[in-house]
Structure 1
């Protein structure tokens, strides 16, 4: 090989090496880093993608590229980027940490544990980074345990006061012009507003069984026993049991399931609601989450089969989350149709809108507020009042809870209902104040 040829090869090689390592000195590095630091996720990701062709393979670019890819849920691209960084610079501990984060988001929990085990052999790791690795490892071990069978139980005891246990009216009588009989009717005490103190016991079970890395069975059970101090005829026991099959796809998660909800009233079996559900959920980014669910079912009433209905509902919700705040706005529409033509006056369509907010004051204190509105439009004239019933209800709820430990939680709650109907008998106001203690195990 000639001297000039050798010099040419050396010059080309040197020039390539210089070009391949110029990203950190390039203005693009500063601009991309500033966008990431300012939490301008969308702009940073768009800008990073314009630099792919020129800088992919450069460790400094791959690190920033992987960082913003993680934030916008482009997890696979993030993992590939951090794998390149670690391969080229195995001592870059931050890159290993973010690679472990990527593995965790992809449910590659064994990969996370392998990284943490390798890191444990390195000396002089900063304490904060060591703690972060340990947290990731603990979370991965927990998720692997859940992939067998995961079950969580909670038990709560609640003391409360209900100002209107039977959702009764304040009216003392039904006026003559308001009913088919043409005469004033004095309402009994059982038909009017009635208040009482109560004790409630709640038991909840939530469990799951992983089938694959992207699918699982989720099952839950809820039992609520409500006992009043003086009006025992309003005591009730509600059971809600559900099982769902969940499947994760690249851009969304879907589930199909069954649920059954029997109710006992005054120690007697009263009714059962049962049906099937289908839902689609999508995590748009770290802040936005949207979901929709449809339900098709039936209500069978054991006391009076004339109250049997076919039920249909659709609900859509959007959730926006910040560090310490979570806001949820939902809209639902439902239809209840009687199985008996003579009871068509009970057929109704309900439209509801609801806003709820959770505020994490600190790791122990959590506050919540819930505001809702419902409109119920009945489909036929009420036979006693000769009017087609129309109801509007406002709901307000608020609570504050203190988490004493991972096991014990204390909560104070207040709920208010204000229902207005074109038929005065069905208008009422109701408030419920309670204090509860719950434990998880």
Structure 2
């Protein structure tokens, strides 16, 4: 029997030598992990061997383990029609139903198996555990909690994202010639350390519906400079519902408090809706929409409403995302601070050896402001690219080392915002 953990396969009945050779060859292929080849060997004989339980049993195993679940279910049903007491076929039929997403029927089939008095106790105990797992899935999966903590330190060539020019010409005051920039408006390099921690919980309301909540804290401190230190706390709560086709619809609300230079800088609150389409091989396609209200503590002209939409494709080792939207200031006097934006990102975490993965990302964004800036007498235009590369080294089951380098280049038609930035850091991350 080929359930998780593995048991020996026992053929249902004797067969002729020629027939037995085909079945045994298929069994050898299946046992070697070549289920697709075993299925290809057996499939052409379905019409003439529909009444052979040995044949149908191995055909069902090969079909199930090569992703042909509907054919596997039919094959095991044919075995049981001929031999109703074949507990191995019934257990495999339950597994096929579970793989196809029909947990209720899988649970019923296993219930029949564990009530078989001839079943050995060790096998019965193992099946009891499987039944309990199915019961949890039928109830919605219970509650789970996960989280992480991350600390890192390194060097930042431009902690304030500023130009490296000492002077610039401001068009409104062009008659006075170039103006000297103060220290806070020029590029500053510093060492830094930062920390992040997050915790999230998911609880089932029903089999299809779950509620979730999470909290995330991030902080960054610059050595010998507090003017550009940052701290943010974000809370999210929402509900997700799995549809009959296994797609997921979710809605969440989110609030954030952000401190800059050790003072409260911005508060935001909003909502996010998302639809996730499940694809083959663990891949998914997500569509999202969001709205946020932004309130700036010391700069009311920047208070704004942000609207955005997004599209993301995720695979086992990579994710590609595209998003765009508009941020509209709520006061006409701040219209030059309103802007459209478009972002694109690609992230990869590719294992290269046991316990070692290469982590890399490339992203870009474009921003176009709505109105002319009163000082620069033009509409601001920015194009930015972000590059990152690093390693994720597993030290224990839950602890990782993360050396990392990043580079950012922002091109702007306003010299004050035209800059480049590089960082190098080393961190440790604990996940639970």
Same fold (TM over 0.5): yes
Q: Deviations over 1:36-67 (max 9, x none)?
A: 9786859968994x766665554345334433
Q: Deviations over 1:324-358 (max 9, x none)?
A: xx332413121123144542553122130313133
Q: Deviations over 1:242-275 (max 9, x none)?
A: 312221323x412121131312202526121412
Q: 2:317 is paired with a residue of what secondary structure?
A: strand
Q: Could you tell me how far apart the structure 1 residues matched to 2:158 and 2:109 are?
A: 53
> Cα offset for 1:200?
1.2
Q: Tell me if structure 1 keeps the 8 A contact 2:388–2:407.
A: yes
Q: 1:147 is paired with a residue of what secondary structure?
A: coil
Q: Tell me if structure 1 keeps the 8 A contact 2:237–2:252.
A: yes
Q: Tell me if structure 1 keeps the 8 A contact 2:38–2:62.
A: no
Q: Tell me if structure 2 keeps the 8 A contact 1:36–1:44.
A: no
- Residue of structure 1 aligned with 2:287, choices 272, 283, 293: 293
- Residue of structure 2 aligned with 1:202, choices 178, 197, 206: 197
Pair 1:391 & 2:386 matched: no
Q: 1:181 is paired with a residue of what secondary structure?
A: helix
> Cα offset for 1:236?
0.6
Q: Tell me if structure 2 keeps the 8 A contact 1:298–1:311.
A: yes
Equivalences for 1:73-88 in 2 at 5 Å?
Answer: 73=67, 75=69, 78-85=72-79, 88=82
Equivalences for 1:184-223 in 2 at 5 Å?
Answer: 184-191=178-185, 192-212=187-207, 215-223=208-216
Equivalences for 1:57-136 in 2 at 5 Å?
Answer: 58-71=52-65, 73=67, 75=69, 78-85=72-79, 88=82, 95=89, 98-105=92-99, 106=101, 107-108=103-104, 110-111=107-108, 114=111, 117=114, 122-123=119-120
Q: Tell me if structure 2 keeps the 8 A contact 1:104–1:112.
A: no
Q: Could you tell me how far apart the structure 2 residues matched to 1:78 and 1:112 are?
A: 15
Q: Tell me if structure 1 keeps the 8 A contact 2:407–2:422.
A: yes
Distance verdict in 2 for CA 1:113–1:26, change over 3 Å: closer
Q: Tell me if structure 2 keeps the 8 A contact 1:352–1:375.
A: yes
Q: Deviations over 1:70-128 (max 9, x none)?
A: 34655455345335435645787764553353344333474586478569964598xxx
Q: Could you tell me how far apart the structure 2 residues matched to 1:150 and 1:438 are?
A: 21
Pair 1:354 & 2:346 matched: yes
Distance verdict in 2 for CA 1:96–1:230, change over 3 Å: farther
Q: Tell me if structure 2 keeps the 8 A contact 1:345–1:380.
A: yes
Q: 1:207 is paired with a residue of what secondary structure?
A: strand
Distance verdict in 2 for CA 1:29–1:200, change over 3 Å: same
Q: Deviations over 1:343-395 (max 9, x none)?
A: 25531221303131332744xx2424122221313144651432541313132
Aligned to 1:268: 264
Q: Tell me if structure 2 keeps the 8 A contact 1:397–1:416.
A: yes
Distance verdict in 2 for CA 1:150–1:220, change over 3 Å: same
Q: 1:78 is paired with a residue of what secondary structure?
A: helix
Distance verdict in 2 for CA 1:164–1:32, change over 3 Å: same
Aligned residues: 400
Q: Could you tell me how far apart the structure 2 residues matched to 1:46 and 1:181 are?
A: 83
Distance verdict in 2 for CA 1:166–1:254, change over 3 Å: same
Aligned to 1:367: 357
Pair 1:426 & 2:418 matched: yes
Equivalences for 1:307-346 in 2 at 5 Å?
Answer: 307=302, 308-319=304-315, 326-340=316-330, 341=332, 342-346=334-338
Q: Deviations over 1:268-316 (max 9, x none)?
A: 26121412312122132xx351212212212322323433132212112
Distance verdict in 2 for CA 1:42–1:211, change over 3 Å: farther
> Cα offset for 1:198?
1.9
Q: Tell me if structure 2 keeps the 8 A contact 1:242–1:259.
A: yes
Structure 2: tracts of 5 or more residues without a match: 1-14
Q: Could you tell me how far apart the structure 1 residues matched to 2:135 and 2:395 are?
A: 24
Q: 2:357 is paired with a residue of what secondary structure?
A: strand
TM-score by structure 2 length? 0.74
Q: Tell me if structure 2 keeps the 8 A contact 1:330–1:354.
A: yes
Q: Tell me if structure 2 keeps the 8 A contact 1:103–1:111.
A: no
Pair 1:401 & 2:393 matched: yes
> Cα offset for 1:209?
0.9
Pair 1:306 & 2:301 matched: yes
